[in-house]
Structure 1
Amino acid sequence: MSRAFRLVTYNIHSFIGRDGEYAPARTLMQIEQLQAEVVALQEVRGDDRQGMEMLTAMAQANDYELVLGPTVVEQPGHHYGNALLVRGKQVETRRHNLSRPGHEPRGAIEVRVSLAGEPWRIFATHLGLSPRERRWQVQSLLREIRRDEAVNTVLMGDLNEWFMWGRPLRWLKRYFRLSEQPATFPSRWPLLALDRIWVHPCARLHSVSAVKTPLSRNVSDHLPLLAEIY
Protein backbone atom coordinates (compact mmCIF):
# COMPACT_ATOMS: atom_id res chain seq x y z
CA MET A 1 0.00 0.00 0.00
CA SER A 2 1.26 3.50 -0.84
CA ARG A 3 2.46 5.78 1.94
CA ALA A 4 -0.03 8.42 3.03
CA PHE A 5 0.74 12.08 2.42
CA ARG A 6 -0.89 15.49 2.77
CA LEU A 7 -1.98 18.20 0.35
CA VAL A 8 -2.91 21.75 1.34
CA THR A 9 -4.45 24.69 -0.47
CA TYR A 10 -4.25 28.08 1.20
CA ASN A 11 -5.19 31.61 0.16
CA ILE A 12 -2.63 33.58 2.17
CA HIS A 13 -4.11 37.03 1.45
CA SER A 14 -0.68 38.51 0.67
CA PHE A 15 0.48 37.71 4.22
CA ILE A 16 -2.13 40.12 5.64
CA GLY A 17 -4.08 38.71 8.56
CA ARG A 18 -7.68 39.15 9.55
CA ASP A 19 -6.45 41.79 11.98
CA GLY A 20 -5.04 43.82 9.07
CA GLU A 21 -1.45 43.15 10.11
CA TYR A 22 1.20 42.25 7.51
CA ALA A 23 2.96 39.30 9.15
CA PRO A 24 4.69 36.78 6.84
CA ALA A 25 6.31 34.94 9.75
CA ARG A 26 3.04 33.73 11.25
CA THR A 27 1.66 32.68 7.84
CA LEU A 28 4.79 30.66 7.14
CA MET A 29 4.62 29.16 10.64
CA GLN A 30 1.10 27.98 9.83
CA ILE A 31 2.27 26.41 6.55
CA GLU A 32 5.18 24.63 8.27
CA GLN A 33 2.89 23.20 10.94
CA LEU A 34 0.72 21.48 8.32
CA GLN A 35 3.61 19.28 7.10
CA ALA A 36 2.16 18.73 3.61
CA GLU A 37 3.97 17.29 0.61
CA VAL A 38 2.39 19.86 -1.71
CA VAL A 39 1.00 23.27 -0.75
CA ALA A 40 -0.93 25.43 -3.23
CA LEU A 41 -0.83 29.14 -2.35
CA GLN A 42 -2.98 31.94 -3.72
CA GLU A 43 -2.56 35.73 -3.53
CA VAL A 44 1.23 35.62 -3.49
CA ARG A 45 2.88 38.96 -4.20
CA GLY A 46 6.19 38.76 -6.03
CA ASP A 47 6.88 42.45 -5.38
CA ASP A 48 6.80 41.81 -1.62
CA ARG A 49 10.55 41.44 -1.18
CA GLN A 50 10.44 40.62 2.52
CA GLY A 51 7.63 38.09 2.15
CA MET A 52 9.22 36.40 -0.87
CA GLU A 53 12.60 36.14 0.82
CA MET A 54 10.98 34.57 3.88
CA LEU A 55 8.86 32.22 1.74
CA THR A 56 11.93 31.12 -0.21
CA ALA A 57 13.91 30.53 3.00
CA MET A 58 11.06 28.53 4.54
CA ALA A 59 10.81 26.41 1.36
CA GLN A 60 14.52 25.61 1.43
CA ALA A 61 14.47 24.79 5.14
CA ASN A 62 11.58 22.36 4.66
CA ASP A 63 12.85 20.66 1.48
CA TYR A 64 10.26 22.31 -0.79
CA GLU A 65 10.77 23.52 -4.31
CA LEU A 66 8.98 26.85 -4.81
CA VAL A 67 7.13 27.08 -8.15
CA LEU A 68 5.67 30.48 -9.02
CA GLY A 69 2.67 30.99 -11.28
CA PRO A 70 2.18 34.76 -11.58
CA THR A 71 -1.03 35.93 -13.25
CA VAL A 72 -0.44 39.69 -13.02
CA VAL A 73 3.01 40.84 -14.16
CA GLU A 74 3.58 44.61 -14.07
CA GLN A 75 7.36 44.43 -14.56
CA PRO A 76 10.13 41.95 -13.75
CA GLY A 77 9.92 41.03 -10.07
CA HIS A 78 6.52 42.73 -9.65
CA HIS A 79 3.91 40.04 -10.00
CA TYR A 80 0.93 38.53 -8.22
CA GLY A 81 -0.74 35.14 -8.37
CA ASN A 82 -0.28 31.49 -7.49
CA ALA A 83 2.59 29.44 -6.08
CA LEU A 84 3.28 25.81 -5.25
CA LEU A 85 5.50 24.32 -2.58
CA VAL A 86 6.44 20.82 -3.74
CA ARG A 87 8.37 17.98 -2.14
CA GLY A 88 9.29 15.08 -4.37
CA LYS A 89 10.92 14.76 -7.75
CA GLN A 90 9.30 17.02 -10.35
CA VAL A 91 9.16 15.76 -13.90
CA GLU A 92 7.43 18.65 -15.64
CA THR A 93 5.96 22.08 -14.88
CA ARG A 94 3.41 23.92 -17.03
CA ARG A 95 1.48 27.16 -16.59
CA HIS A 96 -2.01 27.51 -18.03
CA ASN A 97 -3.54 30.87 -18.90
CA LEU A 98 -7.15 31.04 -17.65
CA SER A 99 -7.63 34.77 -18.25
CA ARG A 100 -10.79 36.19 -19.85
CA PRO A 101 -11.17 39.62 -21.47
CA GLY A 102 -12.36 42.29 -19.06
CA HIS A 103 -11.45 40.32 -15.93
CA GLU A 104 -8.46 40.05 -13.61
CA PRO A 105 -5.84 37.71 -15.14
CA ARG A 106 -6.06 34.14 -13.85
CA GLY A 107 -4.00 31.00 -14.31
CA ALA A 108 -3.12 27.53 -13.10
CA ILE A 109 0.15 25.77 -12.34
CA GLU A 110 0.48 22.12 -13.37
CA VAL A 111 3.30 19.97 -12.03
CA ARG A 112 4.02 16.31 -12.57
CA VAL A 113 5.73 14.93 -9.53
CA SER A 114 6.56 11.65 -7.82
CA LEU A 115 4.81 11.43 -4.44
CA ALA A 116 5.14 8.38 -2.19
CA GLY A 117 6.70 6.54 -5.13
CA GLU A 118 3.85 7.23 -7.57
CA PRO A 119 3.38 9.73 -10.42
CA TRP A 120 0.88 12.53 -9.76
CA ARG A 121 -0.37 15.55 -11.67
CA ILE A 122 -1.12 18.56 -9.49
CA PHE A 123 -3.15 21.52 -10.77
CA ALA A 124 -3.21 24.62 -8.54
CA THR A 125 -5.41 27.59 -9.37
CA HIS A 126 -7.36 30.65 -8.22
CA LEU A 127 -10.50 31.12 -10.30
CA GLY A 128 -12.32 34.33 -11.19
CA LEU A 129 -15.15 36.23 -9.54
CA SER A 130 -17.62 36.11 -12.46
CA PRO A 131 -19.84 33.00 -12.85
CA ARG A 132 -19.38 33.03 -16.64
CA GLU A 133 -15.63 33.35 -16.18
CA ARG A 134 -15.52 30.39 -13.78
CA ARG A 135 -17.58 28.22 -16.13
CA TRP A 136 -15.05 28.77 -18.92
CA GLN A 137 -12.11 28.21 -16.55
CA VAL A 138 -13.46 24.94 -15.15
CA GLN A 139 -14.19 23.63 -18.64
CA SER A 140 -10.63 24.51 -19.68
CA LEU A 141 -9.14 22.75 -16.66
CA LEU A 142 -11.24 19.64 -17.16
CA ARG A 143 -10.10 19.44 -20.79
CA GLU A 144 -6.48 19.49 -19.62
CA ILE A 145 -7.16 16.93 -16.90
CA ARG A 146 -8.83 14.53 -19.34
CA ARG A 147 -5.75 14.51 -21.58
CA ASP A 148 -4.08 11.97 -19.29
CA GLU A 149 -6.57 10.22 -17.04
CA ALA A 150 -4.22 7.31 -16.37
CA VAL A 151 -2.20 9.42 -13.92
CA ASN A 152 -3.38 10.24 -10.38
CA THR A 153 -4.59 13.85 -10.53
CA VAL A 154 -5.29 16.65 -8.06
CA LEU A 155 -7.07 19.94 -8.71
CA MET A 156 -6.91 22.35 -5.80
CA GLY A 157 -7.10 26.02 -5.01
CA ASP A 158 -9.46 28.90 -4.32
CA LEU A 159 -12.27 28.25 -6.78
CA ASN A 160 -14.32 31.29 -5.71
CA GLU A 161 -17.48 29.24 -6.31
CA TRP A 162 -20.18 29.98 -3.74
CA PHE A 163 -23.17 28.78 -5.81
CA MET A 164 -23.74 25.28 -4.45
CA TRP A 165 -25.74 24.22 -7.50
CA GLY A 166 -23.72 26.19 -10.05
CA ARG A 167 -22.54 24.45 -13.18
CA PRO A 168 -18.80 24.55 -12.33
CA LEU A 169 -19.33 22.59 -9.10
CA ARG A 170 -21.70 20.17 -10.82
CA TRP A 171 -19.10 19.47 -13.53
CA LEU A 172 -16.34 18.98 -10.98
CA LYS A 173 -18.44 16.73 -8.76
CA ARG A 174 -19.40 14.61 -11.78
CA TYR A 175 -15.77 14.10 -12.76
CA PHE A 176 -14.14 13.76 -9.35
CA ARG A 177 -17.12 12.04 -7.67
CA LEU A 178 -16.90 14.09 -4.50
CA SER A 179 -19.60 16.33 -3.11
CA GLU A 180 -19.17 17.94 0.29
CA GLN A 181 -16.09 19.88 1.37
CA PRO A 182 -15.79 22.05 4.47
CA ALA A 183 -16.25 25.81 4.57
CA THR A 184 -13.04 27.86 4.70
CA PHE A 185 -14.22 31.46 4.29
CA PRO A 186 -14.31 33.76 6.17
CA SER A 187 -11.73 32.29 8.51
CA ARG A 188 -13.29 33.43 11.80
CA TRP A 189 -16.76 32.04 11.10
CA PRO A 190 -16.43 29.96 7.91
CA LEU A 191 -19.61 29.76 5.85
CA LEU A 192 -18.43 29.20 2.26
CA ALA A 193 -16.42 26.33 0.76
CA LEU A 194 -14.44 28.53 -1.63
CA ASP A 195 -11.29 26.42 -1.34
CA ARG A 196 -11.38 22.89 -2.74
CA ILE A 197 -9.22 19.80 -3.16
CA TRP A 198 -10.37 17.30 -5.79
CA VAL A 199 -8.61 13.97 -6.38
CA HIS A 200 -8.90 11.43 -9.22
CA PRO A 201 -9.39 8.58 -8.57
CA CYS A 202 -11.54 9.66 -5.65
CA ALA A 203 -10.76 6.49 -3.68
CA ARG A 204 -7.28 7.91 -3.00
CA LEU A 205 -8.76 10.79 -0.99
CA HIS A 206 -9.06 9.71 2.64
CA SER A 207 -10.27 12.99 4.17
CA VAL A 208 -10.56 16.75 3.65
CA SER A 209 -10.67 19.17 6.56
CA ALA A 210 -10.46 22.88 7.24
CA VAL A 211 -7.67 23.69 9.68
CA LYS A 212 -9.32 25.52 12.58
CA THR A 213 -6.89 26.82 15.18
CA PRO A 214 -6.42 30.21 16.86
CA LEU A 215 -3.50 30.82 14.50
CA SER A 216 -5.28 29.80 11.30
CA ARG A 217 -8.33 31.92 12.14
CA ASN A 218 -6.16 35.03 12.29
CA VAL A 219 -3.39 34.82 9.68
CA SER A 220 -5.65 35.08 6.60
CA ASP A 221 -9.27 35.61 5.63
CA HIS A 222 -9.29 31.96 4.44
CA LEU A 223 -8.62 28.81 6.46
CA PRO A 224 -6.11 26.30 5.09
CA LEU A 225 -7.74 23.22 3.54
CA LEU A 226 -5.93 19.94 4.17
CA ALA A 227 -6.37 16.58 2.42
CA GLU A 228 -5.03 13.20 3.49
CA ILE A 229 -4.14 10.98 0.53
CA TYR A 230 -3.78 7.19 0.75
Structure 2
Amino acid sequence: MFRVASYNIRKSVGTDWRRRPKQILDVLTELDADIVALQEVDRRLGDRLSSLSPGLIAEMTHFRPIRFGVRPGSLGWHGNTILVRKDVELLRRKRLVLPALEPRGAALADLQIGDLKIRVVGMHLGLVGLWRKRQARAVLDQLASLEEPLPTVMMGDLNQWNTEGGCLAHFAEDHHVIAPGLSFHSQMPFVSFDRIITSLDIHVDAAAVHSSERARLASDHLPVWADLSLLGADGDQKRRDVAMSHAY
Protein backbone atom coordinates (compact mmCIF):
# COMPACT_ATOMS: atom_id res chain seq x y z
CA MET A 1 0.00 0.00 0.00
CA PHE A 2 1.16 3.54 -0.67
CA ARG A 3 -0.42 6.93 -0.04
CA VAL A 4 -0.77 9.71 -2.60
CA ALA A 5 -2.07 13.22 -2.10
CA SER A 6 -2.90 16.29 -4.15
CA TYR A 7 -2.78 19.86 -2.90
CA ASN A 8 -3.32 23.24 -4.55
CA ILE A 9 -1.21 25.44 -2.27
CA ARG A 10 -2.08 28.80 -3.90
CA LYS A 11 1.59 29.89 -3.96
CA SER A 12 1.69 29.28 -0.17
CA VAL A 13 -0.76 32.12 0.46
CA GLY A 14 -3.14 31.28 3.29
CA THR A 15 -6.73 32.32 3.80
CA ASP A 16 -5.41 35.33 5.74
CA TRP A 17 -3.68 36.43 2.49
CA ARG A 18 -0.23 36.04 4.02
CA ARG A 19 2.44 33.87 2.39
CA ARG A 20 3.33 31.16 4.91
CA PRO A 21 5.36 28.34 3.28
CA LYS A 22 6.11 26.70 6.63
CA GLN A 23 2.39 26.29 7.21
CA ILE A 24 2.08 24.42 3.90
CA LEU A 25 4.97 22.16 4.89
CA ASP A 26 3.30 21.44 8.23
CA VAL A 27 0.17 20.32 6.37
CA LEU A 28 2.27 18.10 4.09
CA THR A 29 3.79 16.48 7.18
CA GLU A 30 0.30 15.83 8.54
CA LEU A 31 -0.65 14.02 5.32
CA ASP A 32 2.16 11.48 5.76
CA ALA A 33 1.99 10.56 2.07
CA ASP A 34 4.56 8.85 -0.13
CA ILE A 35 3.83 11.05 -3.16
CA VAL A 36 2.22 14.50 -3.36
CA ALA A 37 1.19 16.41 -6.47
CA LEU A 38 1.30 20.16 -5.84
CA GLN A 39 -0.43 22.83 -7.89
CA GLU A 40 0.38 26.56 -7.88
CA VAL A 41 3.76 25.97 -6.28
CA ASP A 42 5.43 28.90 -8.08
CA ARG A 43 4.66 32.60 -7.91
CA ARG A 44 2.80 33.93 -10.91
CA LEU A 45 4.88 37.00 -11.80
CA GLY A 46 8.50 37.90 -12.40
CA ASP A 47 10.97 35.02 -12.28
CA ARG A 48 8.21 32.61 -11.17
CA LEU A 49 10.17 31.70 -8.04
CA SER A 50 8.93 28.71 -6.10
CA SER A 51 6.97 29.58 -2.99
CA LEU A 52 8.55 26.51 -1.35
CA SER A 53 12.33 26.33 -1.32
CA PRO A 54 13.88 22.85 -1.84
CA GLY A 55 16.05 23.44 1.21
CA LEU A 56 13.05 24.14 3.43
CA ILE A 57 11.20 21.11 2.05
CA ALA A 58 14.18 18.87 2.89
CA GLU A 59 14.61 20.42 6.35
CA MET A 60 10.99 20.34 7.48
CA THR A 61 9.52 17.23 5.78
CA HIS A 62 10.34 13.70 4.66
CA PHE A 63 9.95 14.81 1.01
CA ARG A 64 12.23 15.87 -1.78
CA PRO A 65 10.87 17.79 -4.75
CA ILE A 66 11.15 16.74 -8.38
CA ARG A 67 12.16 19.77 -10.40
CA PHE A 68 10.01 20.46 -13.45
CA GLY A 69 10.63 24.20 -13.73
CA VAL A 70 12.39 25.67 -16.77
CA ARG A 71 13.51 28.76 -14.82
CA PRO A 72 16.32 28.58 -12.24
CA GLY A 73 14.13 29.39 -9.23
CA SER A 74 11.01 27.48 -10.29
CA LEU A 75 10.03 24.01 -9.12
CA GLY A 76 6.89 23.64 -11.21
CA TRP A 77 5.85 23.21 -14.81
CA HIS A 78 3.06 25.78 -15.08
CA GLY A 79 2.91 25.52 -11.29
CA ASN A 80 2.78 21.71 -11.11
CA THR A 81 5.39 19.68 -9.28
CA ILE A 82 5.61 16.36 -7.45
CA LEU A 83 7.09 15.62 -4.04
CA VAL A 84 8.27 12.12 -3.09
CA ARG A 85 9.56 10.49 0.05
CA LYS A 86 13.33 10.63 0.17
CA ASP A 87 13.62 6.85 -0.35
CA VAL A 88 11.48 6.88 -3.54
CA GLU A 89 13.56 6.61 -6.72
CA LEU A 90 12.86 8.84 -9.71
CA LEU A 91 13.05 6.85 -12.96
CA ARG A 92 11.82 9.51 -15.38
CA ARG A 93 10.26 12.94 -15.41
CA LYS A 94 8.43 14.55 -18.28
CA ARG A 95 6.62 17.82 -18.90
CA LEU A 96 3.26 17.44 -20.63
CA VAL A 97 2.06 20.36 -22.74
CA LEU A 98 -1.70 20.98 -22.62
CA PRO A 99 -3.82 22.98 -25.05
CA ALA A 100 -5.21 26.15 -23.51
CA LEU A 101 -6.07 29.80 -23.92
CA GLU A 102 -3.86 30.36 -20.87
CA PRO A 103 -0.59 28.49 -20.15
CA ARG A 104 -1.28 25.01 -18.78
CA GLY A 105 0.79 21.88 -18.34
CA ALA A 106 1.06 18.65 -16.38
CA ALA A 107 4.02 17.02 -14.63
CA LEU A 108 4.74 13.29 -15.09
CA ALA A 109 7.09 11.14 -13.03
CA ASP A 110 7.85 7.42 -13.21
CA LEU A 111 8.76 6.27 -9.71
CA GLN A 112 10.10 3.19 -7.93
CA ILE A 113 8.71 2.52 -4.45
CA GLY A 114 10.42 -0.62 -3.21
CA ASP A 115 9.54 -3.26 -5.81
CA LEU A 116 6.70 -1.19 -7.24
CA LYS A 117 6.99 0.97 -10.36
CA ILE A 118 4.23 3.53 -10.85
CA ARG A 119 3.51 6.55 -13.02
CA VAL A 120 2.22 9.76 -11.45
CA VAL A 121 0.77 12.79 -13.22
CA GLY A 122 0.09 16.07 -11.43
CA MET A 123 -2.15 18.57 -13.23
CA HIS A 124 -4.15 21.75 -12.90
CA LEU A 125 -6.82 22.05 -15.57
CA GLY A 126 -8.31 25.27 -16.94
CA LEU A 127 -11.30 27.34 -15.95
CA VAL A 128 -13.22 26.86 -19.23
CA GLY A 129 -15.11 23.59 -19.74
CA LEU A 130 -14.25 23.13 -23.42
CA TRP A 131 -10.54 23.52 -22.72
CA ARG A 132 -10.70 21.17 -19.72
CA LYS A 133 -12.04 18.46 -22.04
CA ARG A 134 -9.24 19.10 -24.52
CA GLN A 135 -6.66 19.06 -21.73
CA ALA A 136 -7.97 15.76 -20.35
CA ARG A 137 -7.78 14.23 -23.83
CA ALA A 138 -4.24 15.59 -24.27
CA VAL A 139 -3.08 14.02 -20.99
CA LEU A 140 -4.59 10.66 -21.93
CA ASP A 141 -3.18 10.74 -25.46
CA GLN A 142 0.32 11.54 -24.20
CA LEU A 143 0.12 8.72 -21.66
CA ALA A 144 -0.99 6.31 -24.39
CA SER A 145 2.02 7.27 -26.51
CA LEU A 146 4.57 6.25 -23.88
CA GLU A 147 6.42 3.07 -24.68
CA GLU A 148 6.10 1.41 -21.25
CA PRO A 149 2.64 1.19 -19.68
CA LEU A 150 2.69 1.44 -15.89
CA PRO A 151 0.09 1.54 -13.10
CA THR A 152 -0.87 5.21 -13.21
CA VAL A 153 -2.18 7.81 -10.78
CA MET A 154 -3.35 11.19 -12.09
CA MET A 155 -4.34 13.87 -9.61
CA GLY A 156 -4.80 17.55 -9.21
CA ASP A 157 -7.16 20.50 -9.26
CA LEU A 158 -9.51 19.75 -12.19
CA ASN A 159 -11.65 22.88 -11.75
CA GLN A 160 -14.68 20.73 -12.58
CA TRP A 161 -17.83 21.96 -10.83
CA ASN A 162 -20.20 19.14 -11.70
CA THR A 163 -19.73 15.57 -10.50
CA GLU A 164 -19.94 13.88 -13.90
CA GLY A 165 -19.51 14.67 -17.56
CA GLY A 166 -17.10 17.28 -18.83
CA CYS A 167 -13.44 16.33 -18.52
CA LEU A 168 -14.39 13.62 -16.00
CA ALA A 169 -16.10 11.64 -18.76
CA HIS A 170 -12.82 11.39 -20.69
CA PHE A 171 -10.87 10.22 -17.64
CA ALA A 172 -13.60 7.73 -16.69
CA GLU A 173 -13.44 5.89 -20.02
CA ASP A 174 -10.53 3.70 -18.88
CA HIS A 175 -9.80 4.88 -15.34
CA HIS A 176 -11.37 5.18 -11.92
CA VAL A 177 -12.23 8.78 -11.04
CA ILE A 178 -12.28 9.27 -7.28
CA ALA A 179 -13.81 12.27 -5.55
CA PRO A 180 -12.37 12.14 -2.01
CA GLY A 181 -14.79 14.85 -0.89
CA LEU A 182 -15.48 18.58 -0.83
CA SER A 183 -12.13 20.38 -0.99
CA PHE A 184 -12.87 24.00 -2.00
CA HIS A 185 -13.18 26.53 -0.41
CA SER A 186 -11.14 25.40 2.61
CA GLN A 187 -13.09 27.65 5.00
CA MET A 188 -16.45 26.27 3.88
CA PRO A 189 -16.01 23.46 1.34
CA PHE A 190 -18.79 23.16 -1.22
CA VAL A 191 -17.26 21.59 -4.36
CA SER A 192 -14.94 18.67 -5.24
CA PHE A 193 -12.37 20.39 -7.45
CA ASP A 194 -9.52 18.13 -6.36
CA ARG A 195 -9.56 14.59 -7.74
CA ILE A 196 -7.50 11.41 -7.82
CA ILE A 197 -7.70 9.19 -10.90
CA THR A 198 -6.21 5.68 -11.15
CA SER A 199 -5.67 3.09 -13.83
CA LEU A 200 -7.76 -0.06 -13.54
CA ASP A 201 -4.90 -2.10 -12.05
CA ILE A 202 -4.87 0.01 -8.87
CA HIS A 203 -7.20 -0.55 -5.92
CA VAL A 204 -8.36 2.37 -3.79
CA ASP A 205 -8.31 1.25 -0.16
CA ALA A 206 -9.35 4.63 1.28
CA ALA A 207 -9.70 8.24 0.16
CA ALA A 208 -10.61 11.47 1.95
CA VAL A 209 -10.14 15.20 2.30
CA HIS A 210 -7.59 16.33 4.88
CA SER A 211 -9.41 19.02 6.83
CA SER A 212 -7.24 19.78 9.85
CA GLU A 213 -7.37 23.21 11.45
CA ARG A 214 -3.98 24.02 9.93
CA ALA A 215 -5.11 22.93 6.45
CA ARG A 216 -8.14 25.20 6.63
CA LEU A 217 -5.80 28.18 7.08
CA ALA A 218 -2.88 27.26 4.81
CA SER A 219 -4.60 27.53 1.38
CA ASP A 220 -8.02 28.03 -0.17
CA HIS A 221 -7.98 24.33 -1.16
CA LEU A 222 -7.90 21.40 1.23
CA PRO A 223 -5.55 18.55 0.28
CA VAL A 224 -7.01 15.21 -0.77
CA TRP A 225 -5.40 11.80 -0.30
CA ALA A 226 -5.85 8.13 -1.17
CA ASP A 227 -4.34 4.87 0.04
CA LEU A 228 -3.68 2.69 -2.99
CA SER A 229 -2.48 -0.83 -3.75
CA LEU A 230 -1.97 -2.89 -6.88
CA LEU A 231 -4.63 -5.41 -7.74
CA GLY A 232 -3.66 -9.08 -7.37
CA ALA A 233 -4.92 -12.28 -8.91
CA ASP A 234 -8.49 -11.37 -7.98
CA GLY A 235 -8.15 -8.10 -9.89
CA ASP A 236 -11.25 -8.50 -12.04
CA GLN A 237 -13.54 -8.65 -9.02
CA LYS A 238 -11.75 -5.76 -7.36
CA ARG A 239 -12.11 -3.71 -10.53
CA ARG A 240 -15.85 -4.22 -10.37
CA ASP A 241 -15.91 -3.35 -6.67
CA VAL A 242 -13.88 -0.18 -7.17
CA ALA A 243 -15.93 0.91 -10.15
CA MET A 244 -19.11 0.60 -8.11
CA SER A 245 -17.82 2.27 -4.96
CA HIS A 246 -15.69 5.08 -6.39
CA ALA A 247 -17.26 6.02 -9.71
CA TYR A 248 -17.08 9.83 -9.88
TM-score calculated relative to the size of structure 2:
0.80
Partners of 1:83 and 1:197 in 2: CA distance: 15
Q: How does 1:141-220 map to 2 (within 5 A)?
A: 141-147=139-145, 150-178=149-177, 180-201=179-200, 203-220=202-219
- 1:27 and 2:24 matched: yes
The RMSD of aligned alpha carbons is 2.4
More strand by share: 1
Partners of 1:141 and 1:13 in 2: CA distance: 23
Partner SS state of residue 140, structure 2: helix
Partner of 1:96: 96
Task: Assess, with a 3 A threshold, how the Cα gap between structure 1 residues 207 and 151 changes in structure 2: closer, same or farther.
Answer: same
Partners of 1:83 and 1:32 in 2: CA distance: 17
Conserved? CA contact 2:210–2:223, under 8 Å: yes
After the TM superposition, list the runs of 4 or more consecutive aligned residues in structure 1 that deviate by more than 4 angstroms.
Answer: 46-50
Q: Which letter maps to 2:122?
A: A
Partner SS state of residue 44, structure 1: coil
Partner of 1:226: 225
Conserved? CA contact 1:59–1:85, under 8 Å: no
Partners of 1:173 and 1:50 in 2: CA distance: 33
Superposed CA deviations along residues 97-137 of structure 1, whole A, max 9, x for unmatched, are: 1142xx22010111101124211000111111111111110
Structure with more contact order per residue of length (Cα contacts < 8 Å, sep ≥ 6)? 1
Cα deviation, residue 32, structure 1: 1.4
Cα deviation, residue 200, structure 1: 1.3
- 1:119 and 2:117 matched: yes
Partners of 1:123 and 1:96 in 2: CA distance: 9
Partner SS state of residue 56, structure 2: helix
Partners of 1:106 and 1:56 in 2: CA distance: 27
Task: Assess, with a 3 A threshold, how the Cα gap between structure 1 residues 180 and 157 changes in structure 2: closer, same or farther.
Answer: closer
Partners of 2:126 and 2:23 in 1: CA distance: 27
Conserved? CA contact 2:177–2:196, under 8 Å: no
What percent of counterpart residues are identical? 30
Cα deviation, residue 201, structure 1: 2.3
Partners of 1:165 and 1:172 in 2: CA distance: 10
Q: Which letter maps to 1:190?
A: P
Q: Which letter maps to 2:218?
A: V
Task: Assess, with a 3 A threshold, how the Cα gap between structure 1 residues 68 and 227 changes in structure 2: closer, same or farther.
Answer: same
Cα deviation, residue 179, structure 1: 5.3
- 1:42 and 2:25 matched: no
Conserved? CA contact 1:178–1:202, under 8 Å: no
Superposed CA deviations along residues 158-180 of structure 1, whole A, max 9, x for unmatched, are: 11111323331122123213454
Partners of 1:160 and 1:142 in 2: CA distance: 17
Partners of 2:109 and 2:205 in 1: CA distance: 22
Q: Which letter maps to 2:160?
A: E
Q: Which letter maps to 2:91?
A: V
Task: Assess, with a 3 A threshold, how the Cα gap between structure 1 residues 25 and 180 changes in structure 2: closer, same or farther.
Answer: closer
1:140 equivalent among 138, 141, 155 = 138
Conserved? CA contact 1:42–1:125, under 8 Å: yes
Partner SS state of residue 204, structure 1: strand
Aligned residue pairs: how many? 221
Partner SS state of residue 17, structure 1: coil
Q: How does 1:81-92 map to 2 (within 5 A)?
A: 81-87=79-85, 88-92=88-92
Q: Gapped runs of 5+ residues in structure 1? A: none
Cα deviation, residue 61, structure 1: 5.4
Partners of 1:179 and 1:109 in 2: CA distance: 19
Conserved? CA contact 2:37–2:82, under 8 Å: yes
